[in-house]
Amino acid sequence: MAAEDQSQASQSDLPYVLILKPPASFLLFGDHFFDSPNFQYLKAYESPLPLPHFLHTHAQSIQALLSSGGAPVTADTIRLLPRLGLVVTTSQGLNHIDLSECRRRGIAVAGAGTIFSADCADSVVGLLIDVLRKVSASNRYVKQGLWSSQGTYPLGYKLGGKRVGIVGLGSIGTEVAKRLEAFGCSISYNSRSKKPLVPYTFYPNVVELAANCDALIVCCALTDETHHLISKEVLSALGKDGVIINIARGPIIDEKELVRCLVKGEIRGAGLDVFEHEPDVPVELFALDNVVMSPHSAVFTRESFDDLCKLVVGNLEAFFSNEPLLTPVALDDLPHFSGRKD
């Protein structure tokens, strides 16, 4: 009894971190995944109160918020939290956070840094080889017993020597480039601005990039500017021998147009980890052998989640001990993020 009282007392001294909705990690590992002896969580989703009421009740206690892709941090939410000093996100993407409002309020944001870059880049290469060499399609073929009954599978396409165009040469794009160079691919890119120390060819717009590559890789952030960046014009420039890989965000591609191109054979194939309206996927894609899909799982490895745990706890502990954040997001050169959920 006494021990319990004591632990209750020390618990109430710990600062609070708000969680609006459980992140994927909780569903996979249980809700003690990001625990620390130095702070405690306030789980809004466990309260019967409507969110604004809940936030109003606890407004003075909340200094930090743990966010994830499915739990957007809007300006409205931020306004209900006058003491909020930090938003930590478990995702690579930041499009679900109103960064302008954070900047206005002086709220720091801690992201995933580069912990997911290797897994994302590995997914890109895996999907690209799968599409060109028909790995998933021919694995299906063999496992249905068709190799022995129907004979050889149609030939795939060589990866070596292909021109790869990377949309967004950030941490992930750079890891993709490094890997694909080892396969003999030539690398070009489009980014908000040309990167002076980079040996790859820069194209000032995505249409020109697409026209000059065989494989277009989408690695950029979703912002107001990049919504439907991969348009009908870009897909047409990519052409019937071109392949597109998207591990970034679904709305960067005009999905209706992509589906139409794939169904009509106007591009060679696609590897897609993300979609405009997850978990809904256009059913027309299910009939296509030149499309490889994954359920937004580019970072879903045990190793990445271990790294994420250390990073999230590390950032929160740093914040509460007034030490520098491990992975602060620079809020001064912001593209336009309206905080819209993807």
Binding residues (CB under 8 A) for other proteins: these are 24, 27-28, 118-119, 121-123, 125-127, 129-130, 132-136, 138-145, 147-148, 151-153, 155-160, 178-179, 181-184, 278-281, 286, 292-297, 300-305
Q: What is the DSSP string of 252-278?
A: GB-HHHHHHHHHHTSSSEEEES--TBT
- Closest of 88, 76, 74, 79 to residue 34, by C-alpha: 88
With a CB cutoff of 8 Å and minimum separation 6, the contacts of 123 are 247, 273, 294, 297, 298
Known catalytic residues? 249, 278, 296
Residue 64, H or E segment: strand 62-67
Could you tell me the smallest distance in angstroms from the CB atom of residue 295 to other proteins?
4
If you search the block for the tokens 């147009």, which residue do you land on? 257
- Token digits of residue 43: 């789980």
3-state secondary structure at position 297: coil
Could you tell me the smallest distance in angstroms from the CB atom of residue 227 to other proteins?
23
3-state secondary structure at position 302: helix
In the complex with other proteins, the residue whose CB is nearer, 121 or 218, is 121
Could you tell me the smallest distance in angstroms from the CB atom of residue 293 to other proteins?
4
Beta bridge partners of 165: 188, 216
CA distances from 111 to 249, 309, 327 (A): 16, 12, 6
Work out the number of other CB atoms within 10 angstroms of the CB of residue 202: 16
In the complex with other proteins, the residue whose CB is nearer, 106 or 286, is 286
In the complex with other proteins, the residue whose CB is nearer, 8 or 152, is 152
What's the rounded Cα separation, in Å, for the pair 333 and 238?
Answer: 31
Could you tell me the smallest distance in angstroms from the CB atom of residue 69 to other proteins?
12
3-state secondary structure at position 65: strand
Could you tell me the smallest distance in angstroms from the CB atom of residue 121 to other proteins?
8
Q: Please state whether 109 falls in left (phi above 0), alpha (psi between -120 and 50) or beta.
A: beta
If you search the block for the tokens 């790294």, which residue do you land on? 307
- Token digits of residue 169: 């040469």
In the complex with other proteins, the residue whose CB is nearer, 151 or 324, is 151
In the complex with other proteins, the residue whose CB is nearer, 37 or 160, is 160
- Token digits of residue 152: 């050889």
In the complex with other proteins, the residue whose CB is nearer, 85 or 156, is 156
Could you tell me the smallest distance in angstroms from the CB atom of residue 165 to other proteins?
18
